[in-house]
Amino acid sequence: MKLLLGLAGTEESERALDEVIERAAAVGDDLTVAVVDREGVAESDREATRDRAVEHCEAAGLAADVRLLEGHPGSALVELAEREGFDRLIIGGGTESPMGKIELGPVTEFVLLNAQVTVTLVR
């Protein structure tokens, strides 16, 4: 399966990275990790996130393509997933409200509403 993981450098996306790497290594999925642009995050921090993703993949023995995406995170992920024919787009995110319901951020909501490929949300 051809997987695309959107990585924002947040705790939720880092958790998703670890879960996806574990699964991809176990079943032989083809993984691409896309580090998205976030408002207020310095380029050096995005590069550090990319470097951590490369290290995690290499430690698991997984040869993943890790790249930086420019522009609106949701749009860039959806466009990449469709342009390169990914089977699944994976994003981390979503918090739980005091009532136990999931609350989605704007990027997560955009991806879920606009992607034409299957989306997996890792919480």
Write down all domains in the chain, each with its CATH number in brackets.
2-94 (3.40.50.620)
Helix (H) or strand (E) holding 80: helix 73-83
pLDDT over 80 (residue 40): no
Question: Of all residues in the chain, what percent carry a pLDDT higher than 90?
Answer: 75
Give pLDDT tens digits for 61-105: 999 999 999 999 999 999 999 999 999 999 987 777 888 888 888
Kindly indicate the confidence band of residue 39, based on its pLDDT and cuts at 50, 70 and 90.
confident
Kindly indicate the confidence band of residue 47, based on its pLDDT and cuts at 50, 70 and 90.
very high
C-alpha separations of 62 from 20, 51, 52, 58, 109 in Å: 11, 14, 13, 6, 29
